[in-house]
Structure 1
Amino acid sequence: MAPVRHRDARAALAALSCTALALTACGTPVSLSGSPVAAPQRSGQVTAPPAAPPVTTPGTASTPVSTPASTATTPSSADVPAQGWCRAGELAISADEGVAPVAQGRVFVIRFAARRGVACSVGGALGEVAFLAQDGTPLDVGLGEAYAPETPEVAVAEGLEAVVYVTTAPAGTPGLPVAAVRFTLPVKGTKGDPVTVAWPAPFAGPTRLTGLMAPVG
């Protein structure tokens, strides 16, 4: 199946790139804060089966025989993902430079592809995003507020991937030596999964990210 295309998302990405270009002129960095998508927790109890009926033997007094009561509780839902949500280990996550939708723009793409036999969903915005130098030092790339996609959940399976678009200052602008990006992948019902991905090229801020969404193009 071909990736889902969204004309509205394409327009939003173009607007995002234009915003990055405008912010380059004024040079006003802002901060990004992301958090995993939370889901309501569920709890439950497994009740014991009813006691067995009395067992009698001919010629003897009736002696009740009962099974001992047993109780069990479900595991804590503090780190159990909602059904169908992707864990980081189920995905092949990479980053490359894409084609900007506006002249003089620059766009990178973080890709989330399912590993063999996996079908799951992702959604929301990446949390705790940091762009790192080769030695792991966070770099100030002027992170701005993330764009929230119209589709909160995206299916990821064979032939279907999710992406996050990263817009930066135009190509040719002196950039910072970004070697990797670190973030938390939202997973409903958990604190999210930490991920670090190699980065393809240096770039300069201001920088903005979309939420997790289907590819456009």
Structure 2
Amino acid sequence: MNSFRRTAAALAAGALLAVAGTPAAQAVETKADAPWCTGDDLVITAHDMRPTTTPNKGHVIRFAAAEGVTCTIGGSLSNVRFLDAGGADMNVALTGGQGQYTEATVHGIFSAVVYVGSPKKSSSVTPASVQFDLPGQGSLGDRVTVAWPSWIGTPVTFTNIGWPVS
């Protein structure tokens, strides 16, 4: 297992243990009656993570519910492409979708995330945005484009959609 996946797995496990059985954990469980999220249901943003001494640079893509929306999202992003300022595909090498399949119901202050890692000591590019297809139910979901905050190394590793870790 590479260092990014070990770090992400350790952070996720710690966060799950910290909130298991709490009202917060119960509040973010998948609601059977919540519809599947579409691009219009979500406010999607990408952010730099805190700098660490690990060999990977970290980013997080956050999936928050639009005002008044409650919906469920889970699985992996598809057809991921990093784009330059003109919208052209930068052909960045990708790996990812690793980890356990989970579904998250997003609403109010509860959001879902995808963690993105790339090696600090590698060739790097500075995309203007990232484009991907949301997971759908039985088919691909909506294609969305999100502003990207900074440089990335290659290859870029993605986790599945899951709960944020503290």
TM-score range, shorter chain: 0.7 to 0.9
| Alignment partners' CA distance in 2, 1:83 and 1:159 | 16
Check 1:191–1:200 CA distance in 2 against 1; reply closer, same or farther (3 A cut): same
Check 1:125–1:13 CA distance in 2 against 1; reply closer, same or farther (3 A cut): farther
Please give the root-mean-square deviation of Cα atoms over the aligned residues, in Å. 2.3
Please give the secondary structure, in 2, of the residue aligned with 1:109: strand
| Alignment partners' CA distance in 2, 1:102 and 1:112 | 27
How many residues get paired? 140
Is 1:90 paired with 2:41? Answer: yes
**Which residue is equivalent to 2:115?**
165
> 2:48 is matched by which residue type in structure 1?
E
1:145 to 60, 71, 96: 96
Check 1:122–1:94 CA distance in 2 against 1; reply closer, same or farther (3 A cut): same
Is 1:193 paired with 2:142? Answer: yes
| Alignment partners' CA distance in 2, 1:142 and 1:174 | 11
Q: Post-superposition shift, 1:12?
A: 4.4
> 2:114 is matched by which residue type in structure 1?
V
Please give the secondary structure, in 1, of the residue aligned with 2:163: coil
What pairs up with 1:1-217 in 2 under 5 angstroms? 12=5, 14=7, 84-99=35-50, 103-150=54-101, 152-170=102-120, 175-217=124-166
Check 1:140–1:210 CA distance in 2 against 1; reply closer, same or farther (3 A cut): same
| Alignment partners' CA distance in 2, 1:146 and 1:87 | 19
| Alignment partners' CA distance in 2, 1:191 and 1:118 | 21
> Normalising by structure 1, what TM-score?
0.58
Asked whether the equivalents of residues 134 and 142 of structure 2 are also in contact (C-alpha less than 8 Å), the reply is yes
Q: C-alpha offsets along residues 70-109 of structure 1, whole Å, 9 cap, x if unaligned?
A: xxxxxxxxxxxx9621111011101010126652421011
Q: Post-superposition shift, 1:116?
A: 1.2
| Alignment partners' CA distance in 1, 2:140 and 2:123 | 36
Greater share of residues in strand: 2
Please give the secondary structure, in 2, of the residue aligned with 1:146: strand
Check 1:100–1:13 CA distance in 2 against 1; reply closer, same or farther (3 A cut): farther
Please identify the structure whose Cα radius of gyration is greater: 1
| Alignment partners' CA distance in 2, 1:164 and 1:100 | 17
Please give the secondary structure, in 1, of the residue aligned with 2:58: strand
> 1:97 is matched by which residue type in structure 2?
D
> 2:81 is matched by which residue type in structure 1?
A
Check 1:89–1:187 CA distance in 2 against 1; reply closer, same or farther (3 A cut): same
Identity among equivalent positions (%) equals: 35
Asked whether the equivalents of residues 149 and 210 of structure 1 are also in contact (C-alpha less than 8 Å), the reply is no
Please give the secondary structure, in 1, of the residue aligned with 2:63: strand
**Structure 2 spans left out of the alignment, 5+ residues:** 10-32
**Structure 1 spans left out of the alignment, 5+ residues:** 1-10, 17-81
Please give the secondary structure, in 2, of the residue aligned with 1:192: strand
| Alignment partners' CA distance in 2, 1:143 and 1:154 | 24
